[in-house]
Amino acid sequence: MVNKMISIFKPKKIKDFNPSGLNIYTFNAGFKKKDKDLLLIIFDQIVNVCCVYSKTSTPSAPIIWDKKNNKGKAKALVVNAGNANAHTGKDGLKIIDKYVKALTKKIKCRSNEVLVSSTGVIGEKFNPNLIIDKFKKINSKNKNGLLESAKAIMTTDTFPKVSIKNINLDNQSFKIYGIAKGSGMIQPNMGTMLVYIFIECEISKQLINRLLKNNLDNTFNSITVDSDTSTSDTLMMFSVGNKNINLNKKNFTIIINSIKNKNIISNDSKGDPLKFEISINIDYKILENGQIILERDIEKSNIYNNKSDKFELDQDEKNITINLSKKISDNIISSIINLNDN
C-alpha cells in the first residue's frame, strides 16, 4: 500500500459554504474510478468573466475552444478532471463542441457563454457522453457547496484548495472566493494551474480585466515548480451576484504632461539614418479633493530600423507610438487602482 504524502501547506480546516448567484453540481463521470471528476457551475444570470491561459505553444483543446468562442460573458463552467483533452487535435475540439451543445440545450444559453477546462492525462481522447449523461442529473437534489467543487477538479492534489474572503466596502459586505487545483508543470507567464475566482458583486468587463491582469505578475506569474509550462493552465475570474457596489468609490483628478521625441541612434557609412528611437515621457499627478496624492514620471522608448519605404516606416512608427502609449496608460491605470484599494 502506497502512502500518499500530504502537503505541509494543508490547512487544519478547509472552509465551505454555499454561494449565491450560482449553482454547483459535481459528479463521477468515469474519468476516475470512484472520486468526483466533473464540476458543473451554472450561474443564475449571464455574468462577466476574465480569463488568462497558459502561454504554451501547444495548448489543450479547452483553451483553444475558450479563446476562440468566449467574449467575456458566461452562463456556465464545465471542468473535468482525469483527462486533459490535450494533444487530441481536431477531435478534442469536436468532443467539446458536442457536450457544450448538449448543455446549451439543457440550460438555454449560447455556446459562447459556456467555458470549459480539462485536467489530467495528456494525449487521450474521451467519449463526450461521459459528460453529457450527467446533465440529466442537474437538479436541486444534486447541488453542492464550494468544497465539493474543489474536490471535483483535483488530480494529483493531496487536498482541495478553497479560499473565502469577506470584504467590506461602502458600508456593504460581499465575498471573494475561489477554488484551485495544481501540482507540477507550473512555469511563470501563465495563469498557473486551474483557478476559478468569484466576486460577489457586479463588475464591468473592463474593470474585471484590469483587476485580474494588473495583479498577475506578482501572484500567479511568479510561481514555478519544475520549469515546465502546462498545456492546460487556466485562471478565470467571474463577477457573480447582484450587489451593485461602487468599486470606484474614490474620485481622482489626473494632470498629465507628455513629450514625444524621435532621435537618430546610428547612421550607416553614407551618413544616412540606420536606427531611430521613439521615446515618450509622461509626468502625471493624481489629485484627490484638490490635494496631490501621487506624482510620477514614466518614460518608455523603442529602437527600430530605418526603412526605404516611407509608408512602412510611418506605419512602424505609428504602431510603436500606440504600443508605448498603451504601456504608459496601463501603468497609470494600475496606480489609480492601487490608490483606490488603499
Task: List residues with catalytic annotation.
Answer: 192
Burial 268-286 (b: 16+ CB within 10 A, else e): eeeeeeeebebebebebeb
The 8-class DSSP code of residue 153 comes to T
CA geometry: angle 113, 116, 119, nearest 5 deg: 170
- Output the CA torsion sign for 53, 56, 57, 63: negative
C-alpha cell at 7: 502537503
All 3 cell numbers of residue 195?
A: 483557478
- Compute the distance between CA of residue 44 and CA of residue 104 in angstroms, rounded to an integer: 14
Distance, CA of 196 to CA of 51 (rounded, Å): 9
Q: Which amino acid is at 80?
A: N
**Alpha helices (H) along 32-128:** 61-69, 89-107
Determine contact, residues 181/157, Cβ cutoff 8 Å: yes
Q: Cβ of 155: how many Cβ atoms within 10 Å? A: 18
C-alpha to C-alpha distance for 193 and 231, rounded to whole angstroms: 10
Are 146 and 162 spatial neighbours (Cβ–Cβ below 8 Å)?
yes
> 221 near 252, Cβ under 8 Å?
no
Closest Cα to residue 197, out of 142, 149, 140? 149
DSSP 261: E
Separation between Cα atoms, residue 60 and residue 109, nearest integer Å: 24
